[in-house]
Amino acid sequence: MIRFVKNKKKEKKGFTLIEVMIAILILGVGMLAMALLQVTAIRGGSFANQVTQASIYGQDKIEELKNASYSAVTNGNDAIQSGNGITYTRTWTVTNDSPYVGAKTVNLTVSWTGPEGQNRSIQLSTIIHQ
């Protein structure tokens, strides 16, 4: 009896070089996207910190003006050097008898230049009664 043996091709297991290179490329693009996302998050956190500092400095000045005698509340400006190396400039203008007689409206602007050279500012307002 004669047996015929068919040549069975051995199934190859594993990945080809092209498949591995494509996988590495996809992984690399994903990691680059994550790195850019991290940089954006760090910048956003830094800006939030700057705005918070400016708000605190502005509120401190408003409280100082509210606690001063009514006649001592006048226009002015000053600067504060923060711990992170940014100089915050506070400028306030006082409008007498506004919005009514016996009251003063104080408009305060806190401005600073960010680490990347952008000019930023926030504005606060309050009314001080006699």
Query: In this structure, is residue 83 part of a structural domain?
Result: yes
Tens digits of residue pLDDT in 1-30: 666 666 556 666 778 899 999 999 999 999
Per the domain annotation, does 2 fall within a domain?
no
pLDDT, position 130: 86
Residue 98 lies in a domain: yes
Backbone angles phi, psi at 81, to 5 degrees: -95, 120
Q: What is the CATH number of the domain that holds 80?
A: 3.30.1300
C-alpha 112/C-alpha 108 separation (Å) is 13
Indicate the pTM of the whole model.
0.74
Given a contact cutoff of 8 angstroms between Cβ atoms, the answer to whether 60 and 27 are in contact is no
Q: What is the mean predicted confidence (pLDDT) over 43-63?
A: 93
Residue 5 is assigned to a structural domain of this protein = no
Please confirm whether the linkage preceding 115 is cis (ω < 30° from 0).
no
The domain total for the chain is 1
Q: Is residue 4 part of a domain?
A: no
